[in-house]
Amino acid sequence: MRPPANLSSSDQIKKTKDVTFKSHIGPILLLGQIFLLNFLSRVILAPLLTTIERDLGVGHAEAGSLFLLISLGYFFSLLASGFVASRLMHYRTIILSACAIGLALVAISFSNSQLAVLLGLVLVGLSAGLYLPSGISTLTSLVAPSQWGKAIAIHELAPNLGFVLAPLISEALLKWFSWRGILGVMGMASIAAGMAFARFGKGGRFPGAAPNLASVHNILTRPAFWVMTILFSLAIAGSLGVYAMLPLYLVAERGLNQYSANILVALSRISGLGMAFLAGWATDRFGAKRIMAAVFLLTGSMTVLLSVAQAYWLVVIVFLQPMLAVCFFPAGFAALSCIGPSSSRNVAVSLAIPLAFLIGAGSIPTGVGIMADFGNFALGFVLVGGLILGGFLLTLPLQLPEEEECSAAFSAE
């Protein structure tokens, strides 16, 4: 069929792409729902840390190490996710992840010992780690590379919404449940989401590439991969790592009560919902490298200022820091998806994210907690901010494939 006479060839192509993208909004949103519950299972402890410290009788360092346990499970699961996806296909791996998270959280809710809680958190990480490589592979298989920024931005609404909902859910449910009961509620929701994807989900009906020696060597020999791994570590530190300890910091160091701290943190993350779309559009418009450089420069500065800001200015910085930090991920995943051939796209994700998550969401909160126990809570945020600022320098020499190369790989699939 010929394009209408009043439309140029480029206009017709753009219109076709827009129609194709809109037709996949439903499947993208369903993936986002599963990612939301996946993410909530890993951050719901942050607004509950003050309560958990009292219940378990632990200090700041032990509280921060709870995230390290989740990260350890997440680390090993992500490394193995390629093997699982190669046998189950991506969509079954997504279902398995959602249901297993739910069962682990429910098990924690019935636990009576501290050891059972710790083991349960490792299982949460092991279950959650299966999702991301399969989720990203499923998502990027639904739309063309020129639309990846927008699709990933929608997908990234999940963690940004999770940052907002975790404190609100915690404060709402603490009226009726203990912190263990809240985890049980989250577990049941995750199981329900997995069942919904089994019935209504689209995409992912293809196996992932197991990380064999050839595919792993192909990815690991690319300098851009190692730079992206470090950048993801710093980005996760600026987003999830800071978030994990911020409510406790506001209570222990700034004199807020738990309710006020959680509400402030929740409100500060609302901007991330819109910023994810803006970052996705900016990634498609200006390129991933430029967006990542700007994000690290600004996020690092705001993180340092968290340690010195007082009163009104503290509130301003608490709002600005996450607003900037979330902008990395649409650009970061778009860049990571262009490293290596399309057939091993999930391998790049499953190799880069484990270490990044272990450092950014595990070691960083634990380190900040240790410094807090030594009376240097604020200095912990200074050091984290300095590391993030270093990410700006790393982006400058970064070499990424041109969009045309990614488009050619997509067309060949």
Query: What's the pLDDT score for residue 339?
Result: 72
Pick from 168, 10, 191: which is nearest to 100 by CA? 191
- Amino acid 232 reads F
**What H or E segment, with its residue span, contains residue 241?**
none
Query: What's the pLDDT score for residue 282?
Result: 84
Distance CA 360, CA 364 (A): 5
Distance CA 404, CA 392 (A): 25
- Total structural domains in the chain? 1
Whether 18 maps to a domain, the answer reads no
What pLDDT digit, counting tens, does each position of 87-143 carry? Answer: 888 889 999 999 999 999 999 999 888 889 999 999 999 999 999 888 888 887 777
Query: What's the pLDDT score for residue 125?
Result: 94
The list of the chain residues with pLDDT below 70 reads 1-21, 23, 211, 340-346, 400-413
Whether 241 maps to a domain, the answer reads yes
Query: What's the pLDDT score for residue 184?
Result: 94
Residue 350's CATH number: 1.20.1250.20
Parent domain of 389 = 25-412
Whether 7 maps to a domain, the answer reads no
**What H or E segment, with its residue span, contains residue 109?**
helix 90-109
Whether 5 maps to a domain, the answer reads no
Q: What is the pTM of this model?
A: 0.78
Whether 56 maps to a domain, the answer reads yes
Whether 1 maps to a domain, the answer reads no
Pick from 406, 354, 401: which is nearest to 216 by CA? 354
- Which tokens belong to 385? 């901010």
Distance set, CA 230 to CA 194, 293, 338, 405 (Å): 31, 13, 17, 24
Query: What's the pLDDT score for residue 400?
Result: 64
Query: What's the pLDDT score for residue 176?
Result: 92
